[in-house]
Structure 1
């Protein structure tokens, strides 16, 4: 039997995070939701998703996230993992750009 997979979308400091996790439950702390067993892509190749790397750097050592209920936008049970994302809450644009931008000429 395969474990369930959840897509968790939540607000944090003006950005919208979309993470994937295997465990979502009501927390022992009143008003918080536990999100654990975070799932990240493992790439051994040349192409690396910068958003996935940033999320792994920020949450890679996290056992359980305790998210306030007010910060959670949506929790979905999904069949398979999609792309994780970090977006600006106001515009919906991705915060991490896929390629480095050239420097502005002076």
Structure 2
């Protein structure tokens, strides 16, 4: 039997984050929602999604996220993982994460 998968959409620092997790529950901390077992794409090919990499860098070592209930926009139970995203909260536009550029010589 496949594990349940959730798409969690929440507000953080003026941006809307969309992450996938296998566990969502009420937190032991009053007013928070617990999000755990975050799911990230494992790329074995050449194509790399910079947004997915940024989210993995930010949340990859996180065991449990305790999100304030007021910051959660939506939690959806989904069949399969889609594209994780970071969007501007005001416009809804995707925040483009550029690839690191080599340092310019002085």
Residue 4 of structure 2 aligns with which residue? Answer: 4
Cα-to-partner distance string for 1:26-51 (whole Å, 9 max, x where unaligned): 00001000000000000011100000
Question: 1:68 maps to which residue?
Answer: 68
Partner Cα distance (1:97, 1:91) in 2: 16
Does 2:20 match 1:30? no
Q: CA RMSD of the aligned region, Å?
A: 1.3
| Aligned pairs, number | 100
Q: Secondary structure at the match of 1:67?
A: strand
Q: TM-score, normalised by structure 1?
A: 0.91
Deviation, 1:97, is 4.4
What TM-score do you get using the length of structure 2 for normalisation? 0.91
Unaligned runs of 5+ in 2: 101-106
How far off is 1:98 after superposition? 6.6
Structure 1 unpaired stretches of 5+: 101-106
* Equivalent residue, structure 2, for 1:95: 95
SS in 2 for 1:52: helix
What secondary structure is seen at the aligned counterpart in 2 of 1:58? helix
| Residue aligned with 2:30, SS | coil
